Amino acid sequence: MPRFTPPLRDLAFVLDDVLNADQHLAALPACKDISSADLQSITEEAGRFAAKEILPLNQVAHREGCTWHDGQVRTPTGFPAAYAQFKELGWPSLCAPVEAGGQGLPRLAFSLLAEMLSSCSHAFGMYACINHCASACLKHSASPELQQRWLPRLATGEVIASMCMTEPQAGSDIGLVLTRAQAHDDGSYRLQGSKIFASGAEQDLSDNNMHLVLARLPDAPPGSRGLSLFLVPKLLEDGTRNTVFCDGIEHKMGLHGSATCALRFEQAVGWLVGAPHRGLAAMFPMMNEARLFTGLQALGLSEQALQNALDYAQERRQGRAPGSSDTSLLIAHADVQRMLLAQKAWTEGARVFTHWTALLIDVAEHHPDAVLRERTAATVGLLTPIIKGFLAENAQQSLSLALQVFGGHGYVEETGIEQLVRDARVLTLYEGTTGIQAQDLLLRKVLPDQAQQLNVLISEMHEWLAGADPKHLHGWETSLPETLALLQSLTQMLLEQQDTMAALQASTPYLRIAGHAVLAYLWARSTYAASPQAAQSSIWHQGKLDTATYYRTQLLPEILHQAAALRALPTHTPVIVE
């Protein structure tokens, strides 16, 4: 069985040495009592629970999958018991508001929990973390009364939320949704229609499901501006069964333990969340959380794969490395070092990226300075499609390299590594494909405000760099400004073009470059944090510097490729025929 050891050392390094998380939290009245030790103990507890209770279920879940019979879904062996324990231990309430019975911990705590769970079982993590995303939606968009009724149940985990957007004809283009809703005398609504790809929308971990459903009111304008959001529980508050039915589950390439449901609403009772026809805006906080969660899944899956690839490279002997008189460990070979360093660079980079963003969310929510709150929220808005679009793609590379370290044995199910590759393949597809993220970044976040928000972020990066002692920067003193300058010059070029078609073409390479710019900044900060102890011969910190150098010299130059590609984009619509 693949192993998982919570990466406590790297997490402590990221939170304490790179991000100074406790100092940032201390500035937030709602979180001021959260110490570094508190964060560490949350991580330790989450890691212990995930490694002990969840990891052993993961391969079984891959083999068994979920089963559907007559409207009921059975999750894999052990999932219901593990979820009961998860509830029992209070994990669903971690970041829920105190007034809803939650523990009111910072968003960062969820980020740490989600990393651990995703490392141990992508599928279990889907059920366990969705309530966090749904709570964000209700807190932002639902009436106080609806919040009062449902937030506490999300916090206890007695109900499991689901996001019901997709229909067979409406995927990336949510404006094509056909599900209809009609007002009822008592202030509730009746929903009629079908949804697909609703993760965990029917399951046997909790008695109740709470669907958040996009549907159309009778007077709705066409397209995505005519969608409204509804809360549709499986069991109504009096315990009666609502008329929403699960008609089947998908057989997928991976993520077998997570039930991907087709739902049918037959005049199902629901309540409006947010204003009529403003469903997309009402849903967005959930979608954003789901996108950030995808980044954490990318991180978690990459970490498990990396740990096992590293073990294998340290156990298995094949071939003779130069200078060796006997058969060498795999890790002695340059090509295996390359594959391990690339995995470390993507994975550890993703760790700083996701938890840094979690901390920004806390600042955006809780900082006393309203201007800073607003500015930070805009930064989070900018970073969200990058986390989703960039980290999900990087995870494909990272996991594929982990499998490659195992050679032919990586292709055999038994090793467990192929499951991680298959599970992770969904990351670039759900919650908006990579192409959708790229468009969101360039056409909705960067170009409309003339890159103002982007430039704020870049200025902050320059500011950090200006305050750093160059002797601890190990090459970043030139690589970081070069990377940021490239991003700014391409942004300027696209702003000047004022051409939507050109921007659409440019969006995917642009996303890659923007992602690298953020990662370069965070690897520069990691380098800076590791350098003093590396200078005192700490092997662990030397390893961090070597990984940073690998990222800087071997992976970051992808921006040269992407920039050349972006600058040479065709000016006409290409002919594509067989």
Catalytic residues: 431
- Beta pairing class for 67-69 and 159-164: unpaired
Do 42 and 86 touch, CB atoms closer than 8 A?
A: no
Q: What's the half-sphere exposure (Cβ side, CA atoms, 13 Å) at 539? A: 0
List the one residue out of 146, 216, 124 whose CA is nearest residue 178.
216
CA distance 75 to 72: 10
Exposed, middle or buried by CB within 10 Å (0-12, 13-18, 19+), for 531?
buried
**Radius of gyration, CA atoms only, the chain:** 24
Q: Token pair of 503, please? A: 């921007």
Q: Please, which residue, 271 or 406, has the CB nearer to its own copies?
A: 406
Query: Which residue has 């890790």 as its token pair?
Result: 331
List of long-range contacts for 231-236, beta carbons under 8 Å, 24+ apart: 231/138, 231/142, 231/146, 231/150, 231/270, 231/271, 231/273, 232/164, 232/191, 232/265, 232/268, 232/269, 232/270, 233/159, 233/208, 233/209, 234/202, 234/208, 234/209, 234/210, 235/207, 235/208, 236/269
List the one residue out of 354, 343, 294, 313 whose CA is nearest residue 555.
343
Query: Which residue has 């309530």 as its token pair?
Result: 131
DSSP state of 172: S
Query: Which residue has 């204003």 as its token pair?
Result: 275
Q: Of all helices (H) and strands (E), which one includes residue 245?
A: strand 244-249
Do 407 and 105 touch, CB atoms closer than 8 A?
A: no
Q: Please, which residue, 443 or 456, has the CB nearer to its own copies?
A: 443
What residues have CB less than 8 Å from 259, skipping those under 6 apart? 66, 68, 73, 75, 199, 200, 201, 202, 203, 249
Q: Please, which residue, 335 or 469, has the CB nearer to its own copies?
A: 335
